[in-house]
Amino acid sequence: MIEYSPFWETLSNSGETTYTLINKHHISSAILDKLRKNKPMNTTTLNDLCRILHCGLDEIARYIPSEEDQVL
- CB neighbourhood size of 60 (10 A): 23
State the pLDDT at residue 29: 97
Residue 72 — pLDDT band, cuts 50, 70, 90?
confident
Flag whether pLDDT at 66 surpasses 90. no
Residue 37 vs residues 2, 15, 22, 33, 45: alpha-carbon distances, Å? 11, 23, 17, 6, 16
Kindly calculate the radius of gyration of the chain based on its CA atoms and give it in whole angstroms. 12
Residue 71 — pLDDT band, cuts 50, 70, 90?
confident
pLDDT tens column, 2-54:
999 999 999 999 999 999 999 999 999 999 999 999 999 999 999 999 999 99
